[in-house]
Chain A
């Protein structure tokens, strides 16, 4: 019996494990290492209307139990992603969640409309939270009314369900989640990176050429768990959780917080085989914890009554 399959808006997944956007390119590199059809889905690198070169290097810096990145949404642009990358991905037989980014509303709408028409794109991830672009991006992710309106506009044109990627760089994450729910979002992905900095001791300058970057990795896991715990009790949308996941235990912790699926990001750089390893290990862990199916774990940290019922039955 499959104890891992999940059903979310637009997504019938054989398991709830997917590489996070920006940590897996468009899949080509990892396809040399393992069969991508093992994955629940792939969140491909953010796509913008025009091609983007991104920021100058250095674009990454290590931190305690994490890393900073300021890639700057480098991507070949909508046309090439649709005509080359997504076409290439068809042979991999895995559902794609396309991350849609932009610096103004028209860009988001144009990308969403076209990319959502690709046959292997099963859902969109609306990137309103990239901390590494100078214009747009972050405003969409920090002002509830702007986030709601953008979600609404994208929903009007998208042929597939829309998941909105929330930024942790806000005072009230629940308010943001409710705003995009009002805007018609089908789901949430959370969290994007936290804005951070490291400084070179020799030069006295920030290590990243962009000065600031997005913090990811195990260091941000407690922040993500807390935010998912809060949001999952206040909105009815399914949540794809992310932030420092690197083991099957981490996956269960995210489900307990309230996630219905998870994405693995930075850990792919440390161990490129981490996703298939987690998928292999999960059924055993679920059984050990006394569940028949991973969906029973969703929100256990706050569904006290259901937990009790589970043990009584």
Chain B
């Protein structure tokens, strides 16, 4: 169920250049069912910024009623969010959307998790849950450069982890697809979150495989009412059929929607 709650800031850590990890505490954590869901955050009480910001959930810690988000402080709203201190409050609406179906990977299967930039965070909770279900995980994480890399060790504790950077300053120089090809990585199910060109490349390369992709889009309400984050469906790419990224997604099976 969707709840609105004033959550308490437990910690705020800078992980990389402009990348922050925020831990919040609140009862709505117990509503979080799937990795890949997101919350809609009201950062200040006033009009600056006015709208909520959709941010993915990086880790769910139900025993402590806490959850973590990792975000990039880029626009005015997220920069203000990065200034929050322990003890401050954040107005959270959530959990929202449908996440990654972990049951698509069975015990003993191999799941490949491919993240790009600020699309990496939701894969952490996904990886944890897959591992706890006996799934072997392989991570391929793409970043701009070494200064943007985060959570490398945490992913490495869960399974094989490869890095790709655009400038070659960490891991393999190039894109995530270069890494997958270079190391001839095999898998049963692929889960991915990141920039649309990356998702498109994966969808094209693995059209014969089971692939789930998490999309990003500017949102208004976050609950499906405003029609801001709509995309065409794969079986009716030029017609009137649509899916809403916020409430039908943000995770879709590859081919379900037009990227």
Interface residues of A (CB under 8 A from B): 22-25, 28-30, 32-33, 45, 51-54, 57-62, 64-67, 69, 71, 74, 76-77, 217-218, 266, 268-273
- Other-chain contact of A62, B50, B222, B225, B231 (Cβ < 8 Å): B50
Those 8 A-B pairs whose CB atoms lie nearest each other, nearest first: A65-B47, A25-B225, A51-B240, A60-B228, A269-B221, A29-B225, A29-B224, A58-B218
- Other-chain contact of A270, B51, B218, B223, B227 (Cβ < 8 Å): B51
- Other-chain contact of A74, B1, B77, B222, B227 (Cβ < 8 Å): B227
Nearest CB of B to A89, in Å: 14
| Cβ contacts under 8 Å, A28 to chain B | 224
* Residue of B whose beta carbon sits closest to that of A73: B227
Measured between alpha carbons, how far is A258 from B4 in the docked complex, in Å?
34
B254 interfacial by beta-carbon distance below 8 Å: no
Please judge, given known A-B contacts A53-B239, A62-B51, whether A30 and B228 are in contact too, CB under 8 Å.
no
B160 interfacial by beta-carbon distance below 8 Å: no
17 cross-chain CB contacts under 8 A: A23-B226, A28-B224, A29-B223, A29-B224, A29-B225, A32-B1, A32-B223, A53-B239, A53-B242, A62-B77, A64-B47, A69-B220, A218-B50, A269-B52, A270-B50, A270-B51, A273-B4
User: Are the C-beta atoms of A59 and B218 separated by less than 8 Å?
Assistant: yes
User: Are the C-beta atoms of B225 and A23 separated by less than 8 Å?
Assistant: yes
Please judge, given known A-B contacts A65-B47, A270-B52, whether A74 and B230 are in contact too, CB under 8 Å.
yes
| Cβ contacts under 8 Å, B220 to chain A | 60, 67, 69, 269
Please judge, given known A-B contacts A22-B226, A25-B225, whether A76 and B47 are in contact too, CB under 8 Å.
no
User: For chain B residues 219-247, which have a beta carbon within 8 Å of chain A?
Assistant: 219-232, 239-240, 242, 247
Interface mask (B189-232 → A, CB under 8 Å = 1, otherwise 0):
00000000000000000000000000001111111111111111
Secondary structure type dominating chain B contacts: loop
User: Are the C-beta atoms of A25 and B232 separated by less than 8 Å?
Assistant: no
User: Are the C-beta atoms of B224 and A62 separated by less than 8 Å?
Assistant: no
User: Are the C-beta atoms of A71 and B223 separated by less than 8 Å?
Assistant: no
User: Are the C-beta atoms of A54 and B230 separated by less than 8 Å?
Assistant: yes
Measured between alpha carbons, how far is A58 from B217 in the docked complex, in Å?
7
Measured between alpha carbons, how far is A111 from B48 in the docked complex, in Å?
40
| Cβ contacts under 8 Å, A22 to chain B | 226
Measured between alpha carbons, how far is A218 from B47 in the docked complex, in Å?
8
- Other-chain contact of A25, B48, B93, B227, B240 (Cβ < 8 Å): B227
User: Are the C-beta atoms of B217 and A57 separated by less than 8 Å?
Assistant: yes
User: Are the C-beta atoms of A69 and B232 separated by less than 8 Å?
Assistant: no
Measured between alpha carbons, how far is A22 from B222 in the docked complex, in Å?
14
| Cβ contacts under 8 Å, A272 to chain B | 4, 93, 221, 223
User: For chain B residues 23-40, which have a beta carbon within 8 Å of chain A?
Assistant: none
Interface mask (B147-180 → A, CB under 8 Å = 1, otherwise 0):
0000000000000000000000000000000000
User: Are the C-beta atoms of B226 and A53 separated by less than 8 Å?
Assistant: no
Measured between alpha carbons, how far is A66 from B232 in the docked complex, in Å?
27
User: Are the C-beta atoms of B242 and A30 separated by less than 8 Å?
Assistant: no
Measured between alpha carbons, how far is A25 from B246 in the docked complex, in Å?
14
Nearest CB of A to B74, in Å: 10
User: Are the C-beta atoms of A57 and B218 separated by less than 8 Å?
Assistant: yes
Nearest CB of A to B44, in Å: 11
- Other-chain contact of B50, A24, A33, A58, A217 (Cβ < 8 Å): A217
